[in-house]
Amino acid sequence: MSTTTDILGRDDPNDLEAILAVTNTDVDEVLHEVSAGVDTLFTWDYERSRPALGKLYEKAKTSQWNASTDLDWSIEVDLEKEVANRPTLGTMAQMGLIDLSKTPVASWGKDEWTRFDMESAVWSLSQFLHGEQGALLCTARIIETVPWIDAKYYAATQVVDEARHVEVFGRYLQEKMSGHYPINAHLRMLLDDIMADSRWDITYLGMQIMVEGLALAAFGFMHMMTQEPLLKKLLRYVMSDEARHVAFGVLSLKEFYAGLTEAEIRERQEFAFEAAVRMRDRFLQQEVWERMGVEPLEVIRFLRDMAPQQEDPFQQMLFSKIVPNCKKLGLLDAGGGWLRERFTEIGVIQFEDWVDTGEEYESLDEVAKDRASA
């Protein structure tokens, strides 16, 4: 069995110095290549034998939306005003809710904190943009490798969804925020690992369950926080799609994992744990601190000591979709509860009994709700 060092490259998942030592050295690259020996699977069995996936496919066909016509791109976005209305690190610092007097940002005033919050907003949407391109490529891979015709049908609709998500986040960043950040090193490592693995179910687990599950929770949190109307509707519609995508993973893998050996399940548990930690690590936003001229280690260490990740409600809520879905797949308690122990260590096991996305995706279809009320 693999150790934490084997999985993460470090003994302690919370080793801040090791986390921040992971950086991109080629931030100016335009094309990034990942090699994988993947077998393309044709199936001559066209019988529709998986009703749950068929239902999901029908829902996807009727819930498509057009990024050019269903969103009002004429809306003007005042990013400074937008971040001022959110409960950000900058607003809390300016209100005196956080004492940063012994950190490298002790001298920061309103201008510096406003710029930090604006940079943070651009960084967050940039990572969503990169993650959505990862989802686009992963879902195209699923069409090629999954053996079931029902899954190939649904995955084809998700490719269209993901292309639309890349389009909307890219357009919003370019037109409303004037550019984006390069991909975070931890996110890129995770996407590389998912794409480099030739097993179709690992593509599902890494993208549909882990990356898309975290994105669904993060989009919900951002939707709750923002008052900007274009972004708010954009997020509502993207979340409608994302809920189906996560459900696709849950419905497909539950059947497949029921037939795996204990050793094979342990490999999936370890991959899920690695993905969870990689995604958590990327939210340290080290690139924003660097752009602001601050050495990330000292200020992030101070913030973590003040509010450990295991007690950070935002960090915890990001896993509110992942944990119940892993439980639905049988990954939490297999092999003596190895993944349950790991999720307990990083402080997210409390979400295990929340509703899984395979059951809730229809209630999250905001596109259908808008059309019904039109």
What are the residues whose beta carbons fall under 8 Å from the beta carbon of 372, sequence distance 6 or more? Answer: none
**What is the distance between the alpha carbons of residues 362 and 143, in angstroms, rounded to a whole number?**
23
Residue 268's pLDDT band, with cuts at 50, 70 and 90, is very high
Residue 97 is predicted with a pLDDT of 82
DSSP state of 351: G
Residue 168 confidence (pLDDT) above 90? yes
Nearest to 370 by CA among 35, 62, 143: 62
* Percent of the chain clearing pLDDT 90 (strictly above): 70
Residue 307 is predicted with a pLDDT of 64
Residue 312's pLDDT band, with cuts at 50, 70 and 90, is low
Q: Is the dihedral of CA 235, 236, 241, 247 positive or negative?
A: positive
Residue with tokens 């496919």: 57
Residue 91 is predicted with a pLDDT of 85
Q: What is the CATH number of domain 54-67+77-93+106-373?
A: 1.20.1260.10
Q: Which helix (H) or strand (E) holds 370?
A: helix 366-373
Which of 91-95, 146-150, 219-223, 349-353 bottoms out in mean pLDDT, i.e. has the lowest?
Answer: 91-95
Two tokens, residue 99: 């004492």
Q: How many CB atoms lie within 10 A of CB 297?
A: 17
Say what the pTM is.
0.93
195 SS3 class: helix
**What is the distance between the alpha carbons of residues 174 and 153, in angstroms, rounded to a whole number?**
33
Residue 37 is predicted with a pLDDT of 87
Two tokens, residue 200: 């179709």
Higher pLDDT, 232 or 97: 232
Judge contact between 287 and 181, C-beta under 8 A. Answer: yes
Nearest to 208 by CA among 372, 38, 56, 373: 56
Residue 172 is predicted with a pLDDT of 98
Average pLDDT for 248-268: 94
Nearest to 241 by CA among 150, 102, 366, 335: 366
pLDDT digits (tens, 9 = 90+) for 112-133: 999 999 999 999 999 999 999 9
Residue 189 is predicted with a pLDDT of 94
Two tokens, residue 285: 């936003």
Domain ranges across the chain: 54-67+77-93+106-373
Residue 102 is predicted with a pLDDT of 84
Q: pLDDT averaged over the chain?
A: 92
What are the residues whose beta carbons fall under 8 Å from the beta carbon of 61, sequence distance 6 or more? Answer: 157
Judge contact between 276 and 260, C-beta under 8 A. Answer: no
Average pLDDT for 52-68: 96
Residue 309 confidence (pLDDT) above 60? no
Residue with tokens 């470090």: 10
**What is the distance between the alpha carbons of residues 112 and 95, in angstroms, rounded to a whole number?**
14
Higher pLDDT, 3 or 150: 150
pLDDT digits (tens, 9 = 90+) for 193-238: 999 999 999 999 999 999 999 999 999 999 999 999 999 999 999 9
Residue 310 confidence (pLDDT) above 60? no
**What is the distance between the alpha carbons of residues 148 and 151, in angstroms, rounded to a whole number?**
5
Q: Burial of 39 by CB count in 10 Å (0-12 exposed, 13-18 middle, 19+ buried)?
A: exposed
Helices (H), 258-353: 262-282, 286-291, 296-306, 313-317, 322-328, 334-345
Judge contact between 184 and 239, C-beta under 8 A. Answer: no
Residue 316 is predicted with a pLDDT of 77
Residue 313 is predicted with a pLDDT of 63
Residue 240's pLDDT band, with cuts at 50, 70 and 90, is very high
Which of 36-40, 109-113, 361-365 bottoms out in mean pLDDT, i.e. has the lowest?
Answer: 361-365
Judge contact between 341 and 227, C-beta under 8 A. Answer: no
**What is the distance between the alpha carbons of residues 275 and 191, in angstroms, rounded to a whole number?**
9
Residue 36 confidence (pLDDT) above 70? yes
**What is the distance between the alpha carbons of residues 47 and 358, in angstroms, rounded to a whole number?**
23
Average pLDDT for 189-195: 95
Residue 311's pLDDT band, with cuts at 50, 70 and 90, is low
141 SS3 class: helix
Average pLDDT for 98-108: 88
27 SS3 class: coil
**What is the distance between the alpha carbons of residues 161 and 271, in angstroms, rounded to a whole number?**
25
DSSP state of 97: S
